[in-house]
């Protein structure tokens, strides 16, 4: 269907699928750092790390420049190296598997559960070999993975479990907040996430050894702690104990993040209200599949993913997508299966590897969802979805 005839009578400006929400408290927190003595490697870092750790119930937190750097650090701390295999999901952003490649490991993609779109523990179990070193599970859309089952698999096989919780800060599984289940858990603070530092990431853990390794890794692998040195020549002295990177977060980012953490619960509450409204108003539309919620999960709703069945709705995903965009609804698609990317294809991964993931991808459309959306914004999205479906069903 030619979507050019769709008038943008639903709204006059484009509604993005996600967006940060900053207020005067956030601005004041950053300005305070700018007027202080430290704009990097100062006390704001420890304050932010403590806020994240305390919120999720973890002993330790280590802040990084971004979520990808944090995942890289987790792979380093887990000891992933050449010859190691790491099982992960194809329905995620590239970072979840790229971090394995950074360490010389091999990503092994397990298929998804077609209800939750999360990693299927049964598929994970079938792919564990003697070469498997770790599992990187992704809480897709804000809904936690079946972390209890994955924990058991990891412990039974002596694997490290890393939870990519970029989507799920504020979520819980079996009434326990995400961040205290896995060996290491990563949170992202990109502007479309639950709280933002501009760019930023954190690894939380209850393991002191991982904590020390993460601290080294983000700072060139060097230490200034006398008890960690092989030879202390004086107050100026430092030693490099491993090959690390400059992945340090600035105090500007950390101050913003600490201020944003004060609003996290209200942000998550609003996200849940919007998702509930979508669930209520879009239920029962034939050919439109709404998100499924696992009985043990309490999602923090990073994104709201729908599936549009072409054979029922009389159109293609591309046509639906373009029609919604023409109505100024800034829909998106999350995600293209990682192994379908040209780089991964060159590494030998082939289409058909994860049938559920590929089937999901062909029909997925993400609707706008973020705390600053007004009630009218939500109504505009619902109106646009209904209009597009109605028009496609009525086409000759």
Check pLDDT > 70 for residue 276.
Answer: yes
Number of neighbours of residue 339 by Cβ within 10 angstroms? 22
Two structure tokens written together for 28: 């004041």
Distance from C-alpha of 116 to C-alpha of 99, rounded to nearest angstrom: 24
Distance from C-alpha of 280 to C-alpha of 274, rounded to nearest angstrom: 10
pLDDT digits (tens, 9 = 90+) for 333-374: 999 999 999 999 999 999 999 999 999 999 999 999 999 999
The pLDDT of residue 7: 55
Check pLDDT > 60 for residue 129.
Answer: yes
Check pLDDT > 60 for residue 5.
Answer: no
The pLDDT of residue 64: 98
* DSSP code for 290: P
The pLDDT of residue 73: 98
The pLDDT of residue 394: 85
pLDDT digits (tens, 9 = 90+) for 311-328: 999 999 999 999 999 999
pLDDT digits (tens, 9 = 90+) for 158-212: 999 999 999 999 999 999 999 999 999 999 999 999 999 999 999 999 999 999 9
Do 189 and 336 belong together in one domain?
Answer: no
Check pLDDT > 60 for residue 1.
Answer: no
Domain end, chosen from 226, 261, 296, is at: 261
Do 37 and 145 belong together in one domain?
Answer: yes
Domain end, chosen from 261, 283, 318, is at: 261
Domains in the chain, number: 2
Radius of gyration of the chain (CA): 22
Distance from C-alpha of 44 to C-alpha of 160, rounded to nearest angstrom: 30
Do 198 and 218 belong together in one domain?
Answer: yes
* DSSP code for 329: B
Do 226 and 119 belong together in one domain?
Answer: yes
Do 7 and 39 belong together in one domain?
Answer: no
Do 281 and 306 belong together in one domain?
Answer: yes
CATH number reported for the structural domain that contains residue 60 in this entry: 3.40.640.10
Q: Which domain holds residue 367?
A: 3-19+264-394
Q: Is the peptide bond before 169 cis (omega within 30 degrees of 0)?
A: no
Do 238 and 160 belong together in one domain?
Answer: yes
Res. 395 pLDDT band, cuts 50 70 90: confident
Mean pLDDT of 285-292: 97
Domain end, chosen from 261, 292, 312, is at: 261
Question: Which of 113, 163, 165 has the alpha carbon at shortest distance from 137?
Answer: 163
Do 291 and 354 belong together in one domain?
Answer: yes
Do 87 and 49 belong together in one domain?
Answer: yes
| Cβ-based neighbours of 276, under 8 Å, separated by 6 or more | none
Do 202 and 91 belong together in one domain?
Answer: yes
Do 272 and 200 belong together in one domain?
Answer: no
For the whole model, what pTM was predicted? 0.96
Measured in whole angstroms, the distance separating CA 36 from the mean position of its chain's CA atoms is: 32
Do 46 and 8 belong together in one domain?
Answer: no
The pLDDT of residue 8: 58
| Cβ-based neighbours of 204, under 8 Å, separated by 6 or more | 52, 53, 56, 58, 60, 61, 179, 180, 184, 185, 187
Two structure tokens written together for 88: 């992960």
Check pLDDT > 70 for residue 257.
Answer: yes
Check pLDDT > 60 for residue 2.
Answer: no
The pLDDT of residue 121: 98
């Amino acid at each position: 269907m030619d979507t050019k005839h769709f008038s943008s009578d639903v709204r006059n400006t484009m509604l993005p699928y996600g967006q940060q929400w900053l207020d005067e408290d956030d601005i004041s927190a950053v300005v305070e750092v700018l007027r202080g003595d430290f704009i990097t490697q100062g006390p704001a870092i420890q304050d932010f790390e403590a806020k994240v750790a305390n919120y999720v119930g973890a002993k330790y937190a280590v802040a990084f420049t971004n979520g990808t750097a944090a995942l890289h650090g987790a792979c380093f701390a887990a000891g992933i190296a050449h010859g190691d295999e790491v099982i992960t999901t194809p329905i995620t952003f590239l970072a979840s598997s790229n971090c394995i490649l950074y360490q010389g490991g091999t990503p092994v993609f397990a298929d998804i559960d077609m209800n939750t779109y999360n990693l299927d523990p049964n598929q994970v179990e079938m792919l564990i070999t003697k070469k498997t070193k770790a599992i990187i599970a992704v809480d897709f859309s804000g809904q936690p993975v079946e972390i209890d089952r994955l924990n058991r698999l990891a412990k039974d096989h002596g694997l490290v479990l890393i939870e990519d919780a970029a989507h799920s800060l504020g979520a819980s599984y079996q009434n326990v907040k995400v961040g205290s289940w896995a060996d290491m858990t990563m949170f992202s603070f990109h502007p479309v996430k639950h709280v933002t530092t501009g760019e930023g990431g954190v690894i939380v853990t209850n393991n002191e050894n991982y904590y020390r390794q993460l601290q080294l890794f983000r700072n060139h692998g060097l230490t200034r702690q006398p008890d960690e040195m092989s030879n202390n020549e004086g107050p100026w002295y430092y030693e490099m104990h491993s090959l690390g990177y400059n992945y340090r977060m600035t105090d500007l980012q950390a101050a913003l993040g600490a201020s944003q953490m004060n609003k996290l619960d209200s942000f998550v509450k609003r996200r849940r209200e919007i998702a509930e409204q979508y669930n209520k108003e879009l239920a029962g539309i034939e050919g439109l599949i709404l998100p499924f919620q696992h009985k043990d999960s309490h999602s923090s709703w990073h994104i709201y993913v729908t599936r549009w069945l072409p054979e029922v709705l009389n159109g293609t995903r591309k046509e639906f997508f373009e029609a919604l965009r023409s109505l100024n609804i800034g829909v998106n698609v999350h995600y293209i299966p990682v192994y379908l990317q040209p780089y991964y294809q060159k590494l030998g991964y082939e289409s058909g590897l994860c049938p559920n993931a590929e089937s999901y991808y062909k029909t997925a459309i993400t609707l706008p969802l973020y705390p600053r959306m007004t009630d009218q914004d939500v109504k505009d999205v619902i109106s646009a979805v209904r209009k597009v479906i109605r028009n496609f069903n009525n086409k000759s």
